[in-house]
Amino acid sequence: MKSSYFLVTSAIAASLLTAVPASAATLLFDLSGSRNATFTLEVDPVVPDRVNNQPLLGGSQIFFNNVPGTFNGIAGSGNVNFGSGSILAALNISAPGLGFTQFGGADLFSFVDGRPVFNTGTFNFSGIATGRSTLIISEVSGAVPEPATWLMLILGFAAVGGSMRMKRRKTRATIAYA
Structure confidence by residue, pLDDT tens digits, 96-133: 777 766 666 667 887 777 778 888 888 887 665 556 78
**Prediction pTM value:** 0.63
Residues 90 and 135 in one domain: yes
Residues 37 and 105 in one domain: yes
Residues 11 and 36 in one domain: no
Question: What pLDDT was estimated at residue 19?
Answer: 47
Residues 38 and 12 in one domain: no
Question: What is the rounded distance in angstroms from the CA atom of residue 101 to the CA atom of residue 66?
Answer: 16
Of 32-36, 58-62, 168-172, where does the model show the most confidence? 32-36
- Residues 6-53 have pLDDT tens digits of 666 666 656 555 544 445 578 899 988 877 889 988 876 678 888 887
Residues 129 and 168 in one domain: no
The DSSP output letter for 95 is E
177 has pLDDT over 70: yes
Residues 160 and 100 in one domain: no
Residues 133 and 151 in one domain: no
Number of domains in the chain: 2
Question: What is the rounded distance in angstroms from the CA atom of residue 26 to the CA atom of residue 67?
Answer: 13
Percent of the chain with pLDDT over 70: 66
Question: What pLDDT was estimated at residue 24?
Answer: 59
Residues 9 and 45 in one domain: no
Residues 125 and 39 in one domain: yes
Question: What pLDDT was estimated at residue 86?
Answer: 58
Residues 65 and 31 in one domain: yes
Residues 33 and 117 in one domain: yes
Residues 93 and 133 in one domain: yes
Question: What pLDDT was estimated at residue 12?
Answer: 64
pLDDT band at residue 143, thresholds of 50, 70 and 90?
A: low
Q: What's the CA dihedral at 97, 102, 107, 110 to 10 degrees?
A: 70
What is the span of the domain harbouring residue 114?
A: 26-140
